[in-house]
Structure 1
Amino acid sequence: MREYRANTTIHQSPEKIWTILLDLARYPEWDPYCDRIEGEVELGNKIKAFSKLSPGRAFPVKVTELVPNQRMTWTGGMPLGLFKGQRTFTLERKGDETEFTLCEVFSGPMLALIGRSLPDLTEPFEKFVAGLKQRAESAS
């Protein structure tokens, strides 16, 4: 298993942050590693993410968990669980602030082979949470 994680405290309500997270078309405005994301966030829906880390390549994922204003999970990978990536967005209200966490876990028998080609997501995750924080806190 390989895991990447980044978190931040955002001076905004979970509801406001959730609205930003659901607006996939605008991710490139605040996530410097995002080219675009196609689709709509609904439980069971498939969406396609395009990252600047792998130009031109689509990463198809399925929305496998959706708890409004709290938690969202996107899951992708190979059939039979040979390789799986699971990205989870978590929002936890702390008074008038929100603790936001982005976590991705890679697993499966093919991880040893595929893992060598995976980029280090530490910086992209840090930039994602920083961009989300700035976007949410600058929103009226």
Structure 2
Amino acid sequence: MLKVSREIIINSAVNEVWNTLINFERFPEWNPFLLKIKGELNKGSRLRITVQPVGGKKTVTNTTIRKIVPGHIIQWSSGNPIFFAAQHTITIKPIGENKTLLIQTEHFKGIFPFMFSNRIIMSAQDSFEGMNRALKQYVEARTSEVVI
């Protein structure tokens, strides 16, 4: 099994980060990796996700939500464990007043991840880092706006 994990500190409250992550309709405004998500955010629900990994082609995948802890965790999985399967987890944790730790983790299983591990790891790391930076910029810009 391969594992890729990346994290970032976002200078905003957990609820702001969470609300941005679950607002799938606005992903095209900020998310360079998960371009589009269609589906309901409930355990067992199917999601149709359009991804654009760094160094890869745009792909549509069907996933199933495995775990949802409102305000903290979204986890989905897809694929065939013999050939290629992935489990993606996004976890957010408060680490101070208006500071949130976001962690993205992917576990890969199957023959193909083993055969192409370096390429998969590099692409996933770069994709997660790009998404994390974009989320940080988007959320921090929105929470720093002053309403007059």
**Which band: TM-score by shorter chain?**
0.7 to 0.9
Change (3 A) 1:137 1:42: same
Q: Which runs of 5+ in 2 are unaligned?
A: 144-148
- Please report the TM-score for the alignment, with normalisation by the length of structure 1: 0.86
1:98 aligns with 2:72: no
Q: Which residue of structure 1 aligns with residue 146 of structure 2?
A: none
Partner of 2:2: 2
**What's the counterpart of residue 131 of structure 1?**
134
Instruction: Tell me what 1:20 maps to.
Output: 20
Q: Percent identity?
A: 23
User: Structure 1 CA distance, aligned partners of 2:8 and 2:57?
Assistant: 26
Write the deviation string for residues 59-99 of structure 1: whole angstroms up to 9, x where unpaired: 11111100011111011111xx3232011001111111111
8 Å CA contact 2:2–2:114 kept in 1: the answer is no
Q: Distance in 2 between matches of 1:12 and 1:134?
A: 10
In 2, Cα distance between equivalents of 1:18 and 1:25: 14
Relative to structure 1, the CA distance from residue 111 to residue 32 in structure 2 (aligned partners, 3 Å threshold; closer, same or farther) is closer
Match of 1:54 among 57, 80, 90: 57
Deviation at residue 43 of structure 1 after TM alignment: 1.4
Query: In the alignment, what sits opposite 1:70?
Result: 72
What TM-score do you get using the length of structure 2 for normalisation? Answer: 0.82
Q: Gaps spanning 5+ residues in structure 1: where?
A: none
Q: Which moved more, 1:67-76 or 1:113-122?
A: 113-122
Q: Do the aligned partners of 1:6 and 1:126 also contact (CA within 8 Å) in 2?
A: yes
